[in-house]
A and B are shown apart, each in its own frame.
Chain A
Amino acid sequence: AGLILSRLSFGSSTETMLTVLVLASIVLLGIAPERSQAITIYTGWERHALVGSDVRLSCSFFSWRWISDDVTFSWTYRPDGSRDSISIFHYTGGEAYVDNKGPFRDRLEFVGNPGRRDGSILIKNLDFSDNGTFTCDAKNPPDIVGRPSSVRLLVFEKLPIQAGVITGAIIGVVLGLLVLIVVIYYLMRFLVARRVFSLNVSKHGKKKKEGSQQRQIKQTPPLPPTIVASDGQMPSYLPFKHPRGTSRCRPTSLLWTSWFLL
């Protein structure tokens, strides 16, 4: 403490602030777990399954303490429309005890890993009478204060289409195709423009006038003779209009019309 105090008197203001911060965080980290010691349990919200299939009900927890050897998991089941719940599974002292008298005898299996905070169970061969709420309660001594979490099981004859799956698929696919088409279009335009640019540069040494006319005649696709503006002027896509001074030709409008005229 004396060392710290001496540091405080001689050091700069930032050093002081840092020291205070470090001390405060140590104190808070030391205190905090003691106060927020509740264990939090996570299960799903709802599980959908088909008749005759198997379903895995997952349960895991978060605890500030290390996993003790006395960690316990217990599952209880409350059928739909009933107010009583029965216990169907208990794991304690390293041993799993499954239901051997109730509605799930011979159908319940422990598939969790307590060392990894996983207390999941597997129910096989579902039937419509298995509709109900399953509650998982986990305890990690000395961390025992917590709220059990419930998952609702719904058993269907035929799995219904979940809300919005088809809607989202339609919207996503069409918009994705649109983006793809636009990207491909601009990519091809860019590539062809680059190729024409390099051609332009390579023929720069030869007679410019004849060379440019020939090249542009080759590139223009055979146009039907009716495509001329009504006022007798040259349509803007013919490249002859461009001034002599430009060394780079503009194939973009060319491509645009040729693409849509074909």
Chain B
Amino acid sequence: MFMLAGIVVLHITTVILLLVATIDNAWWVTGTASTDLWGRWELTSSDWHYYNLQNYPQDYLQSVQGTVVLACVFTILALFVFLAQLFTLPKGQRFIFTGILQLIACLCIMTAASVYTAKFHTNDDTKGGYGHSYILAWISFVLTLLLTVTYLILRKSE
């Protein structure tokens, strides 16, 4: 009972972290700017302004965008499939379908974070650091991996 509640809470937490990592434009943060994935916020004289991303390799940026969105979609799908399988799975069986969906989500967020690390901000020109969205992306990778292993091992009882 508690394990079930714990797994559901963990899954919901993962969904929330992934959504924040996807939506919030804070993969790279400098003193006056917070940028990435969708746009760039710049602080000019105590006012924040939103700009489009320029001079980024478009194909890599769009592949990061696509895979990070897919990670969110698959995690949310896995949550619903898990809740459905709680009622429909025969006793003693594993949550394979949920595990596979969560595995795909894990691979997607890993791809997104890796491509971003390898291809963006590789030369230290803007004197900034990785922002909270980037950190949350890697944390979500760990959590999705944990959840995948959980679903592939857990057996349904009662």
Binding site for B on A (CB under 8 A): 160-161, 163-171, 174-175, 229, 235-237, 253, 256-257, 260
What separation, in Å, do the CA atoms of A174 and B107 have in the docked complex? 13
Chain A to chain B: the 5 pairs with minimum beta-carbon distance, closest first: A170-B66, A166-B62, A167-B66, A161-B58, A167-B65
Measured CB to CB, the nearest residue on chain B to A233 is B92
B: which residues have CB within 8 A of A? 58-59, 62-63, 65-67, 69-70, 73, 90-93, 96
The 8 Å CB contact of B63, one of A160, A166, A237, A257, is A166
Q: What's the least CB distance linking A149 to chain B, in Å? A: 25
Taking the closest CB of chain B, its distance from the CB of A241, in whole angstroms, is: 11
Asked if B93 contacts A174 (CB within 8 A), the reply is no
Check A170–B63 contact: CB distance below 8 A: yes
Which of chain B's residues have a CB closer than 8 A to the CB of A235? 92
B69 contacts which of A165, A167, A236 (Cβ < 8 Å)? A167
For A160, give its contact among B58, B66, B91, B93 (CB under 8 Å): B58
**Are A253 and B90 interface neighbours, CB within 8 A?**
yes
Q: Given A160-B58, A175-B73, are A229 and B66 also a contact pair (CB < 8 Å)?
A: no
Q: Which residues of chain A are near B90, meaning CB under 8 Å?
A: 236-237, 253
Inter-chain contacts of B66 with A (CB < 8 A): 166-171
Q: How far is the CA of A237 from the CA of B155 in the complex (A)?
A: 14
CB distance from B148 to the nearest CB of A (A): 15
Chain A residues lying within 8 Å of B58, measured Cβ to Cβ, are 160-161, 163, 166
* A166 and B93 contact, Cβ closer than 8 Å, known pairs A171-B66, A171-B70: no
Q: Considering only CB atoms, which chain B residue lies closest to A257 in the complex? A: B93
A-B contact pairs, 5 of them (CB 8 A): A161-B62, A164-B62, A167-B65, A170-B70, A235-B92
Q: In whole Å, how far is A1's beta carbon from the nearest beta carbon of chain B?
A: 64
Q: Please, how many angstroms separate the alpha-carbon atoms of A253 and B69 in the complex?
A: 33
CB distance from A92 to the nearest CB of B (A): 42
Q: Which of A166, A235, A237 has its CB near the most chain B CB atoms (within 10 A)?
A: A166
Question: How far is it, in angstroms, between the C-alpha of A186 and the C-alpha of B67 when the chains are bound?
Answer: 27
Neighbour of B67 across the interface among A161, A164, A170, CB < 8 A? A170
Q: Cβ of B67: which chain A residues have Cβ within 8 Å of it?
A: 170
Residues of A within 8 A of B62 (CB): 161, 163-167, 170
- Chain A residues contacting B65 (CB-CB under 8 Å) are 164, 167
User: How far is A165 from B69 in the complex, measured between Cα atoms in Å?
Assistant: 14
What's the Cα separation between A236 and B65 when bound, in Å?
A: 43
Instruction: Give chain A residues whose Cβ lies under 8 Å from the Cβ of B92.
Output: 229, 235-236
Contact of B69 with A256 in the complex, beta carbons under 8 Å? no
Taking a contact as CB atoms closer than 8 A, the residue among A165, A166, A174 that contacts B70 in the complex is A174
Distance (whole angstroms) from the CB of B109 to the closest CB of chain A: 13
Q: With the chains together, A163 CA to B91 CA distance in Å?
A: 48
- Minimum distance in angstroms from B147 CB to a CB of chain A: 18
Residues of chain A within 8 A of B91, CB atoms compared: 236
In the complex, chain A residues whose CB is within 8 Å of the CB of B96: 260
Closest beta carbon of chain B to A178's beta carbon, Å: 8
Which residues of chain A are near B93, meaning CB under 8 Å? 236-237, 253, 256-257
Other 18 A-B pairs with CB < 8 A, given A164-B65, A171-B66, A175-B73: A160-B58, A161-B58, A161-B62, A165-B62, A166-B58, A166-B62, A166-B66, A167-B65, A167-B66, A167-B69, A170-B66, A170-B70, A171-B69, A171-B73, A236-B92, A253-B90, A256-B93, A260-B96
B131 to chain A, nearest CB (A): 20
A236 / chain B contacts, CB cutoff of 8 Å: 90-93
* Nearest-neighbor residue (CB-CB) of B96 within chain A: A260
Q: From residue B100, how far is it (CB to closest CB) to chain A in Å?
A: 10
Which residues on B sit within 8 Å (CB–CB) of A164?
Answer: 62, 65
Taking CB as reference atom, which chain A residue is nearest B64?
A167
